[in-house]
Structure 1
Amino acid sequence: MERVLYEVKRVVVGQDHFLERVLVAILAGGHLLVEGVPGLAKTLTVKTLARTIQGSFKRIQFTPDLVPADLIGTRIYNQKTSEFTTSLGPVFSNLILADEINRAPAKVQSALLEVMQECQVTIAGETHMVPNPFLVMATQNPIETEGTYPLPEAQVDRFMMKVLVQYPSEEEEFVIVNRVTGPAPDIAAVTTTEQLAHLQQQCRECYVDPSLVHYAVRLVAATRNPDRYNVPNLAHYLTCGASPRASIHLIEGARALALLRGRNHVRPEDVSDLVPDVLRHRLSLSYEALADAITPDHIIHRIMKHIPAPERMLETHVRVDASA
């Protein structure tokens, strides 16, 4: 995975946080929701990543006139054979970039639900499995909201993380201009989809201490009932907290992050590093929060201050890490 990241960074400048979260999502088998203005290498990242793992890549531009058949496929009548054949849609790829997903109507957005959760599509009663590994990275533009449709809560909850992509620094933008205007780098194929599936299985074998699972559960439960966890003046800012899927994604993401960092066990910082990305899109804010300019990240940071991470881990794993 370090070699995969190295190849991607030969093309993409900066965006270390974003690139790390993309690899975490792939290893953990989750999906990614990315929010950022145009021109921040979101498409380039997924396209380059597909080349490094020798997987297939499709980009779907979501527009108001899109229909579900454009996404998952449809049945086509063949006049020569007098039979119907199934034409599969662009979702049958390893890496899917759903560009500006909030520009499509709710019917098209909901067509992604079965694919993202079950990794399969049903067309005319027939079930078709998508390739493995399978990652959906959806983008949305935070500045141009005219003509957009809000994502349904059920679909938002199926995204493992929501990552905010920021503008590059002046030095990074200087390097970007030089790379884009110079000769294109030759991207090497580092691994295969079969090896990546093996890494996904290895990721699930990373050890997670029960205290870390309890820590993740307490963080998520505090978004539903802040007063119970002694987080003052927060309940009136929340109309709905995170679902149990957030706790699951926290632990699965922490395992992937630990594997990326060269360990076979999870540390508290692996969980705490992922908390804002896993929770920010799962919190429904009240009108009071919007009036007071309170963001989900502000609420998450207040909860993390009142619920500390466990300090003492199992001594055996501390010794193993120290000897390594």
Structure 2
Amino acid sequence: MQHPPEDPVRRRNFVLSTTATAVAAVPLGMQRRSVGMTDVTRAAESMNRLVEADDRQGGHQALASAALKGRDHVMELQQRNAGERVRRALYALAAEYSTMAAWACIDLRDLDTAQRRLHESATFAGLSQDPPTGLRVWVNMAMLAYQRRNWPEQLAAARAAKASPAARRDPFFGSMGRVRLALAHSSSGDRQAAKRELGAAQETLLKAGEVERPRWTSFYGPAELNHLAAIILNHNGQSAAAEAMAHRALSRIPEEFRRNRALATCQLALAQLRQGEPEQATSTATSVFTIMDGAVLPGRMRTLIGDFHRDLLRQAPSTTYARDWADRMREEWSRA
């Protein structure tokens, strides 16, 4: 049988409609291009820029917002085709972004929001199966519990950090976990345990080799360990030893780590004040504002400065330097 020739326009429309139907039947994730390690690297570079901003200024709302935006981008990449290695790397990045948002909230003293972000980052860290990322979450949970003055939770989180796979495999992370445990013991008043874990953290760090680690770890080393030792010794009532450790920390903390330098300076001022040197301590505390170079003080730092302010007014309420300090403090507080 012969059929009449098919109209070319009808045939073209049929082909186009069939193709469109086939595309519509494919899930959205299948239509997007695949994701590879190049995409992971680009997302990690953005994360590193946030770490650098935190080193300079400390936690602030813009940093928390940028971290959440980065997390959303990484989770959008998760919806595309990817191999197992890429997926795990993306989950690790999602955990890092969420942890950065939580850390900014801790610095801001927005502790309820920080708690929610850390629970989220713990989920992503588990999915990533990345040991350093998991340790980072435990460390931040210990820090959050410290800010909440929840000593049992701080101790539990610090013990989890010390027992984590990253801490068992790498002395660098082992030292990080042990010093968090020392801080937890000092918070709960167990001075001997704090001293023991601090010594172990110092010895363990000496065994750490020079290997490539995530960018977020750059804050930790002998200088930061000395800073944390100053906090522990101040808690333990060993003000002279705390002052010595704070001086050692400040001699080695890089200039670009402004927030950490300012925090170590706060510990130095507190140690001097508790040794009955209020005028010297006031001069030291005033230098915190110079170090921060006009930036708004993070909430965590404001809490330390507030502690110093109350202790100074108890010791030397009517002195000229105390009045000058109070004026400067009001000026800086008005920046917030």
TM-score normalised by structure 2 residue count: 0.30
Q: Rg: which structure is higher? A: 2
Q: Which has the higher contact order (CA 8 A, sep 6+)?
A: 1
